[in-house]
Amino acid sequence: MLTPSKYWRESPQRYRLEAAKCTKCGKVFFPPRLVCDSCKNGEFEKTTLPDEGKIVSYSMIHVTASNFSDEAPIALGIIELDNGTKITAQVTDCTEDELAVGVPVKLEFRKVQEAGESGVLCYGYKAVLKR
Amino acid sequence: MREVAVIGVGIQKWGELWEKSLRDIFVESALNAMKDAGVDKIDSMYVGCMSSGLFTGQEHIASLLADYLGFNPNPAVRVESACASGGVAFRQGFIEVASGFSDVVLVGGVEKMTDVDGGTATYALGTAADQEYECYNGATFPGLYALIARAHMSKYGTTLEQLADVTVKNHDNGSLNPHAQYPFKVTREQVMTSTMVADPLRILHCSGITDGAAAAILAPVELAKSMKKNPIIKVAGSGHATDTIALHSRDDITFLRATAEAARRAFDMAGVGPKDIDFAEVHDCFSIAEICVSEALGFFEKGQGGKAAEAGETRLGGEIPINPSGGLKAKGHPVGATGIAQVHELVTQLRQDAGKRQVKNARRALSQNMGGTGGSALVHILEVA
Ligand SMILES: [Zn+2]
């Protein structure tokens, strides 16, 4: 269940792509975490993910979770951003034929879902094709 | 560390068991295992269950099930590791007997999945993925495995026909298993034209929604000998490993690192390698999963799992039969029970009791059980002592 506090807590990542960069080895974490899994350092500086990348894999999901059923089918992708960080995002504003591994995309700020009975509007990133 | 034997196994016919509750199906399988083992008391119990809370509204099931099995006040522990919960229960029971802490331990798994509608079941299963960074953006389990499938096809040239052949083989095997939920055959054409769930995965690439339980009884090999068990089926190796639960956080989304690591640990303990295994029960929650698992276990080179399936190497009578039970696809996938049901098949086969689906002269077998998209994995090796 998506509650307001749970939604609000992740907003720096969903709205602004805020990530954490290890001050020792430079590894970037999205979302931020408290310890670097590479060098075990616990200090990070705030960084912002690049908003451009390419599709690593994708699927047109026909049977969605109930909170996405109004929009089915949806295209879901794993996107590798230009710094190497990978994220999961919907790919939108395109036809199924345009989707392919390696296609360049750009992240945009979009409405992602309406949560719960009251339909709380939830925002975040979606990928669009760079044409 | 003491050597440990599996002295009994129990299961029931799986399916949509409307008339039976979670406690009924667990106790039924547990009693079958105890009868099979010839024991009337146990020292302790581990139960693998992914989400009795979301599926039935009931938590605190370890004590509940101990009560209904008639074993209060003995200790009982529920363990959860998504679809690998049963495998974890087996391993924890193994550790408890091997350490000398207990002699006779019941390890079981259960999931009652049909008390809720399909949407709620999809949500409950989705909790095995990263809720904030995968599911929030629309990911479902078939969707995540579809991403793995597409990447495997793109990287290695795996084909839709090869994916279908995994399903066809598992249904062929499942048609010979009296406990299977879907004991019938399907054709490649039926698979490739079935309803699309998450492209390229269709409904016949996906395991179903199942009510079911399974149980096994563990005891020291010495005790099994004094009970005149024949054959003695020994736990030769146990491996457990973890990986990121978010698929996108892995360097290579087509390679199941945790499964490879769990296998390495289990092979090291048993002092054997992939070539020494007579058959395997693996976690084919989706057809692509069986292909990736067969590579991570070292049965085939990376990228060759699809071709091997197409060539029939994983069929009964093939080089390395995989899922003679019918796998999760045909047997059913009550998530918490799956890891124990795999052990049930291993023991049945090693006793040469598997009837028409018997792997000839099977002496050593492997089970692989995983959670989510492979964020947790267990590998066990059983052999005739
Ligand atoms: Zn670091």
Same domain, A78 and A99: yes
Amino acid at residue number B96: E
Higher per-residue pLDDT: A5 or B255? B255
C-alpha dist (Å) from residue B20 to B91, B230, B331? 28, 34, 18
Average pLDDT over residues B40-58: 97
Tell me how far apart the alpha carbons of residues B172 and B315 are, in angstroms, rounded to a whole number. Answer: 9
B220 pLDDT higher than 80: yes
- Section B372-377 average pLDDT: 98
CA distance B245 to chain A (A): 13
Q: What is the mean pLDDT of chain B?
A: 98
The number of C-alpha atoms within 13 Å of B173 and in the hemisphere containing its C-beta is 30
Residues A25 and A87 in one domain: no
Task: Clarify whether residues A24 and A56 are in a common domain.
Answer: no
Q: A9-50 pLDDT, tens per residue?
A: 999 999 999 999 999 999 999 999 999 999 999 999 999 999
Instruction: Calculate what percentage of chain B has a pLDDT beyond 70.
Output: 100
Q: How many domains does chain A have?
A: 2
- Report B:242-261 residues touching A (Cβ under 8 A): 246-249, 253
> Do both A57 and A42 map to the same domain?
no
Domain that holds residue A130: 50-131
**From A6, A58, A124, residue closest to B137, measured CB to CB:** A124
Lowest average pLDDT, out of A69-78, A96-105, B5-14, B115-124, goes to B115-124
Position B371 confidence tier, pLDDT thresholds 50, 70, 90: very high
The mean per-residue pLDDT over the stretch B286-292 comes to 98
Query: In order of start, what are the domains of chain B with their CATH numbers?
Result: 4-117+209-233 (3.40.47.10), 137-206+236-376 (3.40.47.10)
Say yes or no: A56 and A68 in one domain: yes
A37 and A62 co-located in one domain = no
Can B60 be counted among the known catalytic residues?
no
> Distance from the CA of A29 to the center of ligand 1, in angstroms?
10
CB B158 within 8 A of CB A101: no
Is B138 in Cβ contact with A68 (below 8 Å)? Answer: yes
pLDDT greater than 90 at residue A116: no
Condensed to tens digits (0 to 9), the pLDDT of residues B132-158 reads 999 999 999 999 999 999 999 999 999
Whether residue A70 sits in one domain with residue A34: no
Place A4 in a pLDDT band, splitting at 50, 70 and 90.
Answer: confident
- Same-domain check for residues A34 and A97: no
CATH number, residue A129: 2.40.50
DSSP structural state of residue B86: H
Based on the domain organization, do A59 and A97 belong to the same domain?
yes
Statement to judge: residues A9 and A40 lie in one domain: yes
132-161 in chain B: CB under 8 A from chain A: 132-140, 142-143, 146-151, 154
Residues in chain B within 8 Å Cβ distance of A96:
199
Query: How many Cα atoms sit within 13 Å of B39 on the Cβ side?
Result: 28
Q: What are the b/e assignments for B329-347, b being 16+ CB within 10 Å? A: bbbbbbbbbbbbbbbbbbb
- The answer to whether residue B203 scores a pLDDT higher than 80 is yes
Q: Are residues A24 and A81 in the same domain?
A: no
Closest CA to A90 of A111, A114, A118: A111
3-state helix, strand, coil in chain B (%, to 5): 40, 20, 40
Give ion ligand 1 contacts, CB < 5 A: A 22, 24-25, 27, 36, 38-39, 41
Residue B112 · residue B27 · CB < 8 Å: no
Q: A82 alpha carbon to ligand 1 midpoint, in Å? A: 19
- Cβ(B126)–Cβ(B141) under 8 Å? yes
Q: Are A33 and A78 within one domain? A: no
Structural tokens at position B218: 């563990």
Handedness of CA B251, B253, B259, B263 (dihedral sign): negative
Q: Is the peptide bond before B142 cis (omega within 30 degrees of 0)?
A: no
The C-alpha atoms of residue B221 and residue B111 are separated, in whole angstroms, by: 30
pLDDT band at A119 (very low <50, low <70, confident <90, very high): confident
Question: B333 catalytic, yes or no?
Answer: yes
The answer to whether residues B1 and B101 touch, using CB atoms and an 8 Å cutoff, is no
Distance between CA atoms of residues A5 and B321, nearest Å: 50
